[in-house]
Amino acid sequence: MGANKKVPKLHPPMPPEPPPVPWTARVLRAPAVLSLIWPAALLVGSYVAWHHWGAERIGRQYYRLEREAVSITPPPPFVQSDITAAVFETHQLEKTSLLHRQATATIAQAYQTHPWVQQVVRVEKRSDGVDIHLRYRQPMAMVRVISQHAEVKGPAVFVVDGRGILLPPEDFVGFDTTSLLHIEVPGTYPTGGIGSPFGDQRVIAAAALAELLEKHREICNLAAITLTNPNRAFNESWVYAIIRTDGTRFIWGSAPGEEVRGEPSAAAKLQALLADTSRVDDLRLAKLPAK
């Protein structure tokens, strides 16, 4: 017999690896406690998605601010422009959702920028829109200027309120100019835009005087406020005069709140003006009637 030959050992083939189990199947096979996580996570995710995207989209579509749904405090009769239309056009308020927590603040800030609005008192939501309570600027004086623009030569007028804020000129077309005091300051011209301060402190101070005199303008037949020392020295105060419709001129002195030492207060000078001033042309020297 020949030599014994070694017979090679045969290894059975390895069984194939089972296919991976999808994660959904693993969740379904998980214990009951773990399987509760899936619907809870789904609910949380749905809420977050709605809060961030769904509610905002629905709010923009169904609760956006419509111009017709806005009610504002009735403006004075001399305001000819459409305040709400101008604010919507400038600030695109139609994109504002009434569901947004900052909606009233956004609306207030937008209306505060309008030249006729002195203050937004409050903004109130209602079921079908918004009520906006406004305090308007009041015209106090017309400032006569000589135009410095090449396109517009010659005299022109600008209307200001008691703080010297420029008011929209288009609302004063055809306006009775005799219903306001005129401010005459040589060489002045506005440097700010509509709804901004005039830019000349002499005019702003005169506007404050016009506001003080407004209630008494008709009784005292007041027509204009002029500056007596336009070329004042550096350490001098501006001295104003008031002129009646008949041309009578009274020296008023410093603007209200800017009196120099020893000068009567604005209230005292006003009292002197309302008293018999037929023989006094300087209200700073007028003697008040005895009480």
**pLDDT of 232:** 78
Binned at pLDDT 50, 70 and 90, residue 52 comes out as low
How far is it, in rounded angstroms, from Cα 214 to Cα 162?
Answer: 10
Report the CATH number that the domain containing residue 125 is assigned in CATH: 3.10.20
Residue 145 and residue 132 in one domain: no
Q: What pLDDT score does 58 carry?
A: 47
Mean pLDDT, residues 237-242: 94
Structural domain includes residue 100: yes
Spell out the residues 6+ positions from residue 195 whose beta carbon is closer than 8 angstroms to its own: 113, 114, 115, 165, 166, 167, 168
Range of the structural domain that residue 126 is part of: 67-136
The pLDDT confidence band at residue 182, using thresholds 50, 70 and 90, is very high
Query: Based on the structure, what is the number of domains in the chain?
Result: 2
- φ, ψ of residue 275 to 5 degrees: the values are -85, -170
Q: Are residues 181 and 248 in the same domain?
A: yes
Q: What is the mean pLDDT of the chain?
A: 82
Whether 83 has a pLDDT exceeding 80, the answer reads yes
Give pLDDT, residue 187: 87
Tell me which of 136, 152, 171 is where a domain ends.
136
> Which of 54-58, 101-105, 242-246, 252-256 comes out lowest in average pLDDT?
54-58
The 10s digit of each residue's pLDDT in 67-78 is 999 999 999 988
Regarding whether 78 and 196 lie in a shared domain, the answer is no
The answer as to whether 283 is a domain residue is no
- Whether residue 123 sits in one domain with residue 154: no
Instruction: For residue 277, give the nearest of 236, 216, 229, 215 by alpha carbon.
Output: 216
Using the structure block, give the residue that is written with the tokens 């693993």: 26
Q: Model confidence over 14-42: pLDDT tens digits?
A: 666 666 656 555 555 555 545 556 566 55
Asked if residue 196 has pLDDT above 90, the reply is yes
**272, two tokens:** 């002197």
> What is the pLDDT, as a whole number, of residue 32?
53
Judgement on whether residues 172 and 244 belong to the same structural domain of the protein: yes
Domain match, 203 and 225 both: yes
In this structure, are strands 249-253 and 240-244 parallel, antiparallel, or unpaired? antiparallel
Q: Which of 184, 134, 140 is nearest to 165 (CA)?
A: 140
How far is CA 117 from each of CA 91, 106, 136, 285, rounded to the nearest angstrom?
A: 15, 15, 5, 39
Asked whether residue 85 is assigned to any structural domain, the reply reads yes
| Residue 225 clears pLDDT 60, i.e. is over it | yes
203 part of a folded domain? yes
Cβ distance 222 to 236 under 8 Å?
A: no
pLDDT the model gives residue 48: 55
**13 versus 162: which is more confidently predicted?**
162
- pLDDT-based confidence at 8, cuts 50/70/90? low
Q: Are residues 106 and 149 in the same domain?
A: no
The verdict on 174 and 226 lying in the same domain is: yes
Reported in sequence order, the residue ranges of 76-164 that DSSP labels E, i.e. its strands, are 117-126, 129-136, 141-146, 155-160
pLDDT of residue 291: 55
256 in a domain, yes or no? yes
In a domain, 54, yes or no: no
* DSSP SS3 for 196: coil
